[in-house]
Amino acid sequence: MRLDMASKLLNFGSKFFKSSKNFFNGAYGKRSSSSINARKWTGTRQKLLTFGALTGATGLLMYAMDASVDASSDSVHPAKQQWPHKGFLSAIDKESVRRGYQVYKEVCSSCHSLQYIAYRNLVGVCMTEAEAKAEAEGITVHDGPDEEGNYYDRPGKLSDYFPMPYPNEEAGRAANNGAYPPDLSYIVSARKGGEDYVFALLTGYCDPPAGFALRDGLYFNPYFSGGAIAMGQLISNESVSYADEDVAPSASQIAKDVTTFLCWTSEPEYDIRKILVIKVFVISAFLIGITYYIKRLKWSALKSRKIFYLPEIQEKAKKAAEDNCPK
């Protein structure tokens, strides 16, 4: 009984396989015989699928390598913060940039430079032109040579860049136990994590864990690579006095303001780029709408027309042409 059932199932399976094979072969034969372009498209589709598969595999490999590097990092990953300028229609807080510049000037400028930022960049962002000129005139620039070939000192101008805290790298290393303070012009864009990393680094100082040995002149910060950093904790509560009494100069507020300022120095055209994107979207939407309307208007007559073949009319036209033709 079981053998009969098994043989019936095998016969049914073989018949079903043959019928399905014939069906697919017939369908493919009809499809391939109907058009030569179909066979060409099949080859092109295979190439596209192969290219897509290779691209996807490469992307997965790059992601896996990046994830493996992150997993083996020797520092704590910073927490995600809700920055107000990260929205699509949000701009950088100009008041926060102004306060951040004050923090940089009073706390950070003694060690870190902003060699790619000029005083003219501050105009219209966090200062008026008169205020920026006053800030620039507060520095002394060694300029020259003059007509007699001599170098001289002059007050700063709007076109001057922020001064360097040290005359050269060796002097900077000598003043900081061998560590050279990096330039902060593009620090937010240069560090993975961006604003989150800078904020976490400034507020993440703590006591080292048990068994962690620190050399003299180094401080423990879990967000810095290796945990040992030469920069001490410079930001604390009320380390800076704000002119705006409504803003409390807490450590987190000061770190947030200077991070916002450094975010602006990394991308001074941040707001301009967003405005440009919005303009592009608005203009593109208008142009796409007009183009679609013109396309429907121009092609509506061709798409809606009907062509009829009437032999009687063709014969009459042929006879009329023969009668009118001079012999």
d(CA 119, CA 137): 10
Bind-site residues = 108, 111-112, 231
Bind-site residues for heme c = 108, 111-112, 231
Rounded to 10 deg, the angle between the 251-266 and 94-103 helix axes is 100
- Helix or strand holding residue 155 (H, E): strand 152-155
User: What letters, b where the CB count within 10 A reaches 16 and e where it falls short, cover 14-29?
Assistant: eeeeeeeeeeeeeeee
d(CA 304, CA 160): 68
Residues 6+ apart with CB under 8 A from 240: 102, 103, 106, 107, 249, 254
The SS3 call for residue 44 is helix
What letter represents residue 253's amino acid? Q
CA-based nearest residue to 111, from 175, 34, 25: 175
What letter represents residue 122's amino acid? L
d(CA 173, CA 178): 4
What are the two backbone dihedrals, phi and then psi, of residue 108, each rounded to the nearest 5 degrees?
-90, -30
CA-based nearest residue to 142, from 154, 124, 130, 134: 154
Q: Which tokens belong to 240?
A: 């800076």
* Side-chain half-sphere exposure of 144, counting CA atoms within 13 A: 12
What are the two backbone dihedrals, phi and then psi, of residue 142, each rounded to the nearest 5 degrees?
-85, 105
